[in-house]
Structure 1
Amino acid sequence: MSASDAEGGLTPTGTITRTTDRRRVAVATVVGTTVEWYDFFIYAQAAGLVFAGLFFGPLNDDFPGLAQIISFVTVGISFLFRPLGAFLAGHFGDRVGRRPMLVLTLILMGAATTLVGFLPTYAQIGVAAPILLILLRVLQGISAGGEWGGAVLMAVEHAPKQRRGLFGAFPQIGVPIGLLLASGVNAIMALIAPGDAFIEWGWRVPFFLSIVLILVGYWVRRRVEESPVFEEIAARKEQVSAPVARLFARFTPLVLLAALVFVGNNAVGYMTTGGYIQGYATNPDGPLGFERGPVLCAVAASSVSWLVATFAAGVLSDRIGRRSTFVLGWIVQAVFVLTLFPLVNSGSIGLLALGLVLLGLGLGLTYGAQSSWYAELFPASVRYSGVSIAYAIGSILGGAFAPTIAQWIQTATGDSTNVMYYLLGVTLLSLVATLLLRDRRGIDLSPANEAEQERGIGVWQRG
């Protein structure tokens, strides 16, 4: 490696960024997204493990199983508010900068998560308990909707163009790391406070720990510099007054296709991140009845394979392209969707863990290149709005109610094979959407190149 490479490299705008600055951005994005998704996932796991009885128990009196379905519905409700977070963060991220939105969304997520840990239950304050729970979940959804776009743009827009996949993978690995932390902390609490103790107070501790993680994330994110692409936009005074309106006026098909690319990964991923597998495997009245601790450890193991595959996909996408990496990922994911429930239903915790670990490989290969591809799809002036809103819409169509749908299918048919068909269907849908978009690896991301960025986005277009 040359001395110039060691000291710095060209950003997409042509300015010099030191290697140390890029590394600081990489660390800040992975730490921040890890904290955000830890907060998001401990709620989803609690929804699968304890919220049904603590907040919605009376619903089972007339309709057995309804409390668990509604508990998963609250996981999905937050997704309906992700577009609001994406609209707000996208507007201000394209107007005033990426970094301020990253700090604000982090604080909002942490505050909402911590307050969940303090909530009284239905037995203590009645119907006010689930109402407050849902309100705090809504705040989590708003935060999640705005955070991801800023994190990936900070990473990708600071990166040299030949390594955007690598740098874009850093905020992506925050998701499996967040799942690993959430599952690990819950597994530890299941050991410290087993049985009724977990239901009485053990589940609250992971929510309280969010305070420490938020302080760390805030400190790290405050130390990073603003995106060089946005700095050039500001210097040229080319901020769009209404970026969201311009986005939909000119790029609606692109937003929808990019959203559909995310559907397959998000729906399948929420089998674990949304708490469905945890609830299915630990339900004492279900077909398996495993203890919470071993199941949570299996989920934690799957997050490791997801992390490794996510990082590998980012690196691979710099070599073979974003679209080719996704196509490979959809094939792998489809294969391991077909093996998931046969392994889960084997009655062996080891085979359940194997099924989840294999699924994590497919999830990583269909997630690692997403940030770099999304950033390269949208023009500079509406990029924050574009990536955030496409991600938010994809999450609604994909993961928002995936655990609820899976639970309903399982309850209605009594056969997890039908859940498998649902997951295979959304995987194939995303494969089709992937094939309809162009690979734009290495395109100049600066505002000076906006005209080229707007051309030939879909395979049906010229240019």
Structure 2
Amino acid sequence: MIVFSGLAIGSDGFNASIIGNLELIMEVIYPESLTTAVSSRLSNAFMVGMIIGMLSFGYVADRLGRKTGAILTTTILVVGIALSAGASGVTQNGMFWMLIVARGMAGVGAGGEYPVAGAGAVEATDEETTVRSNRGFIFAMIADLSASLGFVFGALVPLLLLLCIHQQERRYNVVWRVALALGAIPPLSIFWFRYRMAISSAYRKSSMKKHRVPYWLALKKYWRPLIGVCSSWFIYNYIAYPFGLFSSTIVNRVNPTSSLVVTMGWGTLINCFYIPGAFIGGFLSDRIGRRRTMALGFFLQAVLGFILGGALGPIENHLPLFIVLYGIFLTLGEVGPGSTIVLTASENFPTAIRGHCVGFAAAWSKAGAAIGTQVFKPILASWGADEFRGTQAVFLIGSGFALLGALLAWFVLVDSDQELDRGDQEWKDYLAANGYSHVQWGTGITDGTDSVPDSKAAV
């Protein structure tokens, strides 16, 4: 469960990030059709779909089971990817609309992975004490390293395909279609294993499959961690997604004489800076706690971002220096919220509503990503010929939000008990004290298997 959750989230990172580099290729093929408005819709379609998937599959994961959710999300994601790779239309505008809709559908499947994989993985790490004590590092590998590798491959795959066709513009159409189609390989490769997976002890003992969840009581009890997780995750993705998606665009502005391949190569290198942050953040979260790690990463990212924005003039004259500092800026984002936010969201809530809460918080995060993408791109474009001011504004705005994230993490978030059974028992006692003393907890399954509901039950 732990390994395949990581592969699933890594696949989502690839499918979400790849569009940033493919748009550079599409600008060459479709210079008139790919307007700023179409480009924004294309960038946001996947994220909007993810928001829908996160909200809906949070419910599915808690009510129908982690396994049912995993199978459905994988199926929807693969179908959406297939439609995206084969997008066509009578006109180029028609093709882009099909691509936008298909990317949105793929996003629904990808978004559903967060509550399904997040809830399932944290419960899997709770099975043994030795694993639980290293949960921060394990989750950093599952949720952060895998997503970071997805971002790296999202930049690397289009670059390698460009080199394979020897940068012939007449074959660029093949590049973006093949690049999108390759995103189906990871979810397809784990489908059988997810179909055969067992459900966790925590879900078998503490789910509320047979009872309606009292959402008002849940909100009264868990409002503070919910606000803290939602706002921190929103700010993290508000910064991380635009800077990751537009890394090649920003490098191109700093060094406009580069070819498309060189620009994408620099963008790929920048995305590699996400990777060390997962190891550092995972190590720290088990030593100093999730909250302190998140606040530290946010704060250091803000400091470096203000330096980059304020001293951009002399820094951009030395491209290697700019690349390194920009990369460290991204690394610090992973050290803090990147390596801790999914785990924090999963640990702070009981098993019965874990999928709901992780999905809700994750939806807020993608709203931040969508808004950040929508805001940052016009900022870059609004300065017109003055590319220096546009890049500077992006860094200063992003750093301001990182500072806000540090304050929220420090003053609003709380470090939860890492043993899930205690949190589940606290939730049960709370409901019993508020008139829910006859809840039949768990699934009634004791052999470790989980069955997919029949068609009538699913409806």
- Please report the TM-score for the alignment, with normalisation by the length of structure 1: 0.80
**Contact (CA 8 Å) 1:343, 1:352: kept in 2 or not?**
no
Structure 2: distance between partners of 1:345 and 1:401: 28
Say which is worse superposed, 441-450 or 372-381, in terms of deviation.
441-450
**1:270 aligned residue:** 241
Structure 1: distance between partners of 2:402 and 2:96: 33
1:448 aligns with 2:425: yes
Structure 1: distance between partners of 2:329 and 2:60: 37
**2:47 aligned residue:** 79
1:210 aligns with 2:183: yes
Deviation of the 1:217 alpha carbon: 2.7
Residue deviations 1:210-256, cap 9 Å, x none? Answer: 2333321323433432222112125xx66542576765576455433
Residue deviations 1:114-169, cap 9 Å, x none? Answer: 32222236xx5243222212211211332232211221222211114322212222
**1:34 aligned residue:** 10
**2:376 aligned residue:** 406
**Contact (CA 8 Å) 1:379, 1:453: kept in 2 or not?**
no
Aligned pairs for 1:408-423 within 5 A: 408-413=378-383, 414=386, 415=389, 416-423=391-398
Identity of aligned residues (%): 19
Say which is worse superposed, 427-436 or 264-273, in terms of deviation.
264-273
Letter in 1 for 2:348: L
SS state of the match for residue 83, structure 2? Answer: helix
- Please report the TM-score for the alignment, with normalisation by the length of structure 2: 0.81
**2:70 aligned residue:** 102
**1:461 aligned residue:** none
**2:325 aligned residue:** 355
**1:322 aligned residue:** 290
SS state of the match for residue 311, structure 1? Answer: helix
Deviation of the 1:325 alpha carbon: 0.4
**1:395 aligned residue:** 366
Letter in 1 for 2:25: V
1:165 aligns with 2:140: no
Say which is worse superposed, 289-298 or 249-258, in terms of deviation.
249-258
1:199 aligns with 2:172: yes
Structure 1: distance between partners of 2:206 and 2:147: 30
Deviation of the 1:179 alpha carbon: 1.0
Letter in 2 for 1:402: G
Deviation of the 1:295 alpha carbon: 3.1
Residue deviations 1:398-446, cap 9 Å, x none? Answer: 2113233122112223312111121012212222221212111424346
Structure 1: distance between partners of 2:252 and 2:183: 25
Structure 2: distance between partners of 1:108 and 1:92: 14
**1:156 aligned residue:** 122
1:387/1:268 CA distance change after superposition, 3 Å:
same
Deviation of the 1:277 alpha carbon: 2.5
1:273/1:56 CA distance change after superposition, 3 Å:
same
**Contact (CA 8 Å) 1:69, 1:407: kept in 2 or not?**
no
1:243/1:299 CA distance change after superposition, 3 Å:
farther
2:413 to 404, 425, 437: 437
1:176 aligns with 2:148: yes
**1:9 aligned residue:** none
Deviation of the 1:54 alpha carbon: 5.2
**2:95 aligned residue:** 129
**1:13 aligned residue:** none
Deviation of the 1:69 alpha carbon: 4.8
**1:457 aligned residue:** none
**2:202 aligned residue:** 229
Say which is worse superposed, 319-328 or 359-368, in terms of deviation.
359-368
1:418/1:426 CA distance change after superposition, 3 Å:
same
1:352/1:298 CA distance change after superposition, 3 Å:
farther
**Contact (CA 8 Å) 1:187, 1:292: kept in 2 or not?**
no
SS state of the match for residue 159, structure 2? Answer: helix
SS state of the match for residue 149, structure 1? Answer: helix
**Contact (CA 8 Å) 2:229, 2:341: kept in 1 or not?**
no
Letter in 1 for 2:157: V
SS state of the match for residue 244, structure 2? Answer: coil
1:410/1:330 CA distance change after superposition, 3 Å:
same
1:295/1:127 CA distance change after superposition, 3 Å:
closer
Residue deviations 1:88-126, cap 9 Å, x none? Answer: 2111111121222123212322221232222236xx524
Structure 2: distance between partners of 1:417 and 1:434: 26
Structure 1: distance between partners of 2:313 and 2:77: 35
**Contact (CA 8 Å) 2:16, 2:47: kept in 1 or not?**
no
Structure 1: distance between partners of 2:63 and 2:397: 40
Count of matched residue positions in the alignment of Structure 1 and Structure 2 = 414
Structure 2: distance between partners of 1:339 and 1:196: 39
2:354 to 366, 383, 402: 383
Structure 2: distance between partners of 1:282 and 1:243: 52
1:120 to 72, 83, 88: 88
Letter in 2 for 1:116: S
Structure 2: distance between partners of 1:245 and 1:55: 50
Structure 2: distance between partners of 1:225 and 1:419: 46
Structure 2: distance between partners of 1:344 and 1:380: 52
Structure 1: distance between partners of 2:3 and 2:64: 23
- CA RMSD, aligned part only? 2.9
SS state of the match for residue 437, structure 1? Answer: coil
Question: Structure 2: which 5+ residue stretches go unaligned?
Answer: 432-459
SS state of the match for residue 119, structure 1? Answer: coil
SS state of the match for residue 271, structure 1? Answer: helix
1:290 aligns with 2:258: yes
Aligned pairs for 1:40-51 within 5 A: 40-47=16-23, 49-51=24-26
1:189 aligns with 2:194: no
**2:399 aligned residue:** 424
SS state of the match for residue 369, structure 1? Answer: helix
SS state of the match for residue 415, structure 2? Answer: coil
Residue deviations 1:41-86, cap 9 Å, x none? Answer: 2223323x13456568247xxxxxxx13530343224333433212
**Contact (CA 8 Å) 1:272, 1:278: kept in 2 or not?**
no
Say which is worse superposed, 306-315 or 177-186, in terms of deviation.
306-315
SS state of the match for residue 312, structure 1? Answer: helix
Deviation of the 1:322 alpha carbon: 0.5
Say which is worse superposed, 437-446 or 32-41, in terms of deviation.
437-446
Letter in 2 for 1:184: L
